[in-house]
Chain A
Amino acid sequence: MRKLLTLLSVLVLSSLLLAACGGAAPEVPDGTAAPADTAAAPAEPATEAPGTTEGPAPAAQDGGFGQTLETVQARGNLICGVNSQVPGFGFIDSAGNFSGFDVDYCRALAAAIFGDATKVEFRPVTAAERFTALQSGEIDILSRNTTWSLVRDTELGGNFIHTTFYDGQGMMVPVATGFTTLEDLDGGTICVQTGTTTELNLADVMAARGVSYTPAVYEDADSTFGAYYEDRCDAVTTDKSGLVARNTIADDPSAHLIMDVTMSKEPLGPMVRHGDDQWFDIAQWTVFVLFAGEEYEIDSTNVQDVKASTTNPEVARLLGNEGDLGLKLGLDNEWAVNILEQVGNYEEVYNRNLGPDTPTYIPRGLNSLYTEGGLLYAPPFR
């Protein structure tokens, strides 16, 4: 009997020790993780928790309302999952800096949170690992030309922010082949990247049209296009923007043709984890600030002048002259000014990365303001 007692006491002791070690991890959820037979254990992590902010910056924590913002602010920078292989969207330029449309969105979000667009750590993720990185809290937000779809919005444990770029899937072939329609590719091989919606659309579209093909599927954009340019495939498919962007770094861009076929709808936008609605709102309204900036013609050069002189109540609310919209999001009231001043409005971001002066030029098309026949429409700032 005494032996049993000793054994039990050692067990309790060791579990206490364990719980103390476990304190560095996120709080023990009620009931499930706490060993049922050691009543003392659940109490321990609670007392340990406040001391856990020190040491190496913890990865973004999963969390309930407000936790993500808290973690990001405590860490002092935003961790943003981006692409590093698609020029114009997410790419490491010759100077070693991240640049691109999706990358600038991260900067805008950092400007909204910290008032400093440089407080971002970019973490390149591949198409296949991006959702796991977001779920596990390795990144705070995913801004990596990700298509909004129902399954991703539900089962993948994330929520999509408003679409920042409306795209469609395209098909690129060498000009020399003379192919112009998908039917021409019957019996051919098509290069595609794994873990993408394009991989699924390709199967759908080809099955619907009764065209047989062999997929050659690769892990990342570099190997997909590398294989295509090595003539491993008759065609390569991805979002049209991706085709345009990748072809700018081909040896001979004019030797390749993007077919006049749109195979799917590809609304691309950022994504956050389920469970923190405040974080979702911050990310969502950062997108709307970019839209509104273009709509009210506020850009990085004139934002301070407009702020000083505006008589439009909506603009006054947006720029924090009136009301406390920023505070409602848990941010500084100057949040929109910071975004527009340091990163610019949607038009500036677009032209910087995809505009006519860049090698990755893509006409605005659907990505214009609703006043110009596009789909960009910001809800009222009030």
Chain B
Amino acid sequence: MTKSESPTTAIPFWRDERYLQLLGQVVFIAIVLLFGYFIFGNMVAGLRRQGMTLGFDFIRGTAGFDIAEKLIEYSRGATYLRAFQVGLLNTLLVSVVGIIFSTIFGVILGVARLSSNFLVNRLAAFYLELIRNLSLLVFLIFWYLGVFLKMPRVNEAVVWPGSIYLTNRGVGIPWGIPTESFGTYRWILLFGLFLAIVVAYILNEQGKRTGRPPLTLVWATGAFLLIAVVGWFVLPVSPLALDVPFVKGLNLSGGLILSPEFMALTSGLVLYTAAFIGEVVRAGIQSVSRGQVEAARAVGLNAFQTLRLVVFPQAMRVIIPPLTSQYLNLTKNSSLAIAVGYSDLFYVSNTITNQSGRAVEMFSLVMATYLSFSLITALFMNWYNQRIRLVER
């Protein structure tokens, strides 16, 4: 019986499941597209009725407002585009600083949570449970209004050893200011980096030949540091001049002044995200079977070595995917900066929207930007995950 293969008796296409499935999908896509088209057309028509148009020409217009925190040159006469870039860089700054510190703190929390020391274990558990069950917005506003704005006034500033000033106008820390020899020093550092890579390569090759694990990281770092230190003293003028903050009138001056807004946002995000990372790390470590640990101890590795050489490399595979989403969360959550008055991407865009009246354009731009942030982070983390996963032979 080869009925179905015979062309004369083929089932009609409206009863053929393959066609029906295809048709169903085409219809669905058509509906979605039509709906989108309808909504967009409606919006354009609505805007036109009020004499408004869509377009990005306005972005070259004069911004006219000032921004408190800027990493690049900006003044009221700059364009909206420049203002947007200022916000973009501020968001990147918070995200990068936040990711670094929350990773460090999160790993410590995760390990502490599994510690056999009762006090350490319980403290970490308490912290994790407390923070993870708070709302981030509430937490941020607490840090801003409850901590950084409640710091002493400038004329009563608390000074910590190392010239760290704590005031309600910001936290001042000593900072290096590049001198004229800084340009040369940059090249020296680059050379140091190059040397470190060469050392690492040679040691690795040697390790493969002899079969003894080389201390690649230690030697490479050592080489880099050596060049950096030698370069610092060889130059006639030291490349960075130490600038210590001091009180000038009603404000802090000199050094690096971290505004209360930046401090509140960053510390809030770090402490919040670290709690989640802590749980991710704990789950990763617990996913490594107990036998692995026991075997490692049996061959004479100490607790730290067990963690570094046996547990972490295996735990990483479980940790990386959820860790990625925590990094993405942190980046996206940084848009809550508006609640504490930190001029991040969303905040500046909001101001631009309001001063130019271009809500649709600005919000498309903001959404596209956050989307690309997330996709780039995800891409990088996926690449890393690919690299460290268990290679099956």
* Residues in A neighbouring B261, C-beta threshold 8 A: 216
Known: A155-B356, A187-B249. A227 touches B341 (CB 8 A): yes
What CA separation (Å) do A135 and B43 show in the bound complex? 11
A70 on interface, CB distance cutoff 8 Å: no
Q: Which residue of B lies closest to A152 (CB)?
A: B357
Cβ B169 vs Cβ A232 within 8 A: yes
A3 on interface, CB distance cutoff 8 Å: yes
B52 to chain A, nearest CB (A): 5
A207 to chain B, nearest CB (A): 6
Binary per-residue interface labels of chain A (200-242) against chain B in the complex, 1 for a CB within 8 Å, 0 otherwise: 1011101100000111111100010011001110100000000
Known: A29-B42, A35-B38. A194 touches B30 (CB 8 A): no
Binary per-residue interface labels of chain B (120-141) against chain A in the complex, 1 for a CB within 8 Å, 0 otherwise: 0000000000000000000000
B19 on interface, CB distance cutoff 8 Å: yes
What CA separation (Å) do A7 and B14 show in the bound complex? 11
Interface range, B side: 35 or more
Known: A10-B23, A33-B42, A131-B357. A275 touches B50 (CB 8 A): yes
* Residues in A neighbouring B41, C-beta threshold 8 A: 28-29, 32-34
> Which one of B92-100, B304-312, B347-355 is at the interface?
B347-355
A323 on interface, CB distance cutoff 8 Å: no
* Residues in B neighbouring A6, C-beta threshold 8 A: 14, 23
Q: CB within 8 A of A215: which of B27, B51, B67, B357?
A: B67
Known: A32-B44, A226-B145, A232-B149. A11 touches B30 (CB 8 A): yes
B14 to chain A, nearest CB (A): 7
A367 to chain B, nearest CB (A): 27
> Which one of A14-22, A111-119, A309-317, A328-336 is at the interface?
A14-22
Cβ B351 vs Cβ A189 within 8 A: no
What CA separation (Å) do A188 and B66 show in the bound complex? 14
B168 on interface, CB distance cutoff 8 Å: yes
A253 on interface, CB distance cutoff 8 Å: no
* Residues in A neighbouring B343, C-beta threshold 8 A: 217
Known: A29-B42, A155-B357. A232 touches B168 (CB 8 A): yes
Known: A32-B41, A200-B64, A219-B339. A62 touches B49 (CB 8 A): yes
Listed residue (A128, A189, A232) with the most chain B CB atoms within 10 angstroms of its CB: A232
Cβ A199 vs Cβ B341 within 8 A: no
B22 to chain A, nearest CB (A): 10
Known: A189-B251, A199-B65. A18 touches B31 (CB 8 A): yes
A25 on interface, CB distance cutoff 8 Å: yes
Interface range, A side: 35 or more
A181 to chain B, nearest CB (A): 15
* Residues in A neighbouring B225, C-beta threshold 8 A: none
Cβ B19 vs Cβ A14 within 8 A: no
Q: CB within 8 A of B260: which of A7, A35, A177, A232?
A: A232
* Residues in A neighbouring B357, C-beta threshold 8 A: 131, 135, 151-152, 155-157
* Residues in B neighbouring A156, C-beta threshold 8 A: 357
* Residues in A neighbouring B44, C-beta threshold 8 A: 32-33
Cβ B34 vs Cβ A35 within 8 A: yes
B359 on interface, CB distance cutoff 8 Å: yes
A195 on interface, CB distance cutoff 8 Å: yes
Known: A128-B354, A131-B357, A189-B169. A29 touches B45 (CB 8 A): yes
A127 on interface, CB distance cutoff 8 Å: yes
* Residues in A neighbouring B58, C-beta threshold 8 A: 155
A132 on interface, CB distance cutoff 8 Å: yes
* Residues in A neighbouring B250, C-beta threshold 8 A: 177, 187-188, 234
Cβ A194 vs Cβ B51 within 8 A: no
A23 to chain B, nearest CB (A): 11
* Residues in A neighbouring B76, C-beta threshold 8 A: 200, 203-204, 207
Known: A28-B42, A32-B44. A216 touches B354 (CB 8 A): no
Known: A157-B52, A274-B50. A203 touches B64 (CB 8 A): yes
Cβ A18 vs Cβ B34 within 8 A: yes
Cβ A15 vs Cβ B355 within 8 A: no
A273 on interface, CB distance cutoff 8 Å: yes
Q: Which residue of B lies closest to A218 (CB)?
A: B341
CB<8 Å pairs between A and B, sample of 30:
A7-B23, A7-B27, A22-B42, A34-B41, A35-B37, A128-B354, A135-B50, A152-B357, A155-B358, A189-B68, A189-B169, A189-B251, A194-B350, A194-B354, A195-B355, A199-B65, A200-B76, A203-B65, A206-B66, A214-B68, A215-B65, A215-B67, A216-B261, A217-B351, A219-B339, A227-B149, A230-B145, A230-B168, A232-B149, A232-B169
User: Which 9 pairs show the lowest CB-CB distances between chains A and B?
Assistant: A33-B41, A195-B354, A29-B45, A157-B50, A156-B357, A203-B76, A274-B50, A230-B149, A200-B64
- Contacts A3-B19, A135-B50 aside, 5 further interface pairs with beta carbons under 8 A come to A26-B42, A35-B38, A199-B65, A206-B66, A232-B168
